[in-house]
Amino acid sequence: DIVMTQSPDSLAVSLGERATINCKSSQSVLNRSNNKNYLGWYQQKPGQPPKLLIYWASTRESGVPDRFSGSGSGTDFTLTISSLQAEDVAVYYCQQYYSTPLTFGQGTKLEIK
């Protein structure tokens, strides 16, 4: 299984400031045949299901605000929120879909400082 490890486990950021969440995979999720990283990011608010934010490591899902961006390749990835808004308080998960079983990171809880 590919193990996904996120850091930090929790993060407090001031409104309007940048938030950065890291995700590391135990093996590369880059498919060299198509040069795509099989990595997605989700946002989960209390009492709600996860919501897809990013796929292919850096492609924003339709309707997701452009303050959310994804970067990285191979085994190291980052989700960045450029200017934190109150509604961004949530738990964020990365997910690899390079191989089964599909696996998620343990989650990063983002709060307002």
Partner 1 sequence: QVHLQESGPGLVKPSETLSLTCNVSGDSISGFYWSWIRQPPGKGLEWIGHVYYSGSTTYNPSLKSRVTISVDTSKNQFSLKLTSVTAADTAVYYCARSEQWLSWFDSWGQGTLVSVSS
Residues near partner 1 (CB under 8 A) are 1, 38, 40, 42, 48-52, 55, 61, 93, 95, 97-107
In the complex, least distance from residue 49 CB atom to partner 1, rounded to whole angstroms: 4
Which three-class secondary structure state does DSSP give residue 87?
helix
Closest contact distance (angstroms) between CB of 74 and partner 1 is 17
Q: Determine the Cα angle at 78 with ends 72 and 83, to 5°.
A: 130
Closer CB to partner 1, residue 71 or residue 104? 104
Q: Are the C-beta atoms of 66 and 60 separated by less than 8 Å? A: yes
Nearer to partner 1, 78 or 106 (CB): 106
Considering the complex, what minimum distance in angstroms separates the CB of residue 96 from partner 1?
9
Q: Give one DSSP letter per residue of 19-37, joined into a string.
A: EEEEEEESS--EETTTTEE
CB of 100 to partner 1, least distance (A): 5
89 conformational bin, left if phi > 0, alpha if psi -120 to 50, beta if neither: beta
Separation of alpha carbons 5 and 24, rounded Å: 5
Cβ-based nearer residue to partner 1, 67 or 97: 97
Cβ closest to partner 1, residue 14 vs residue 65: 65
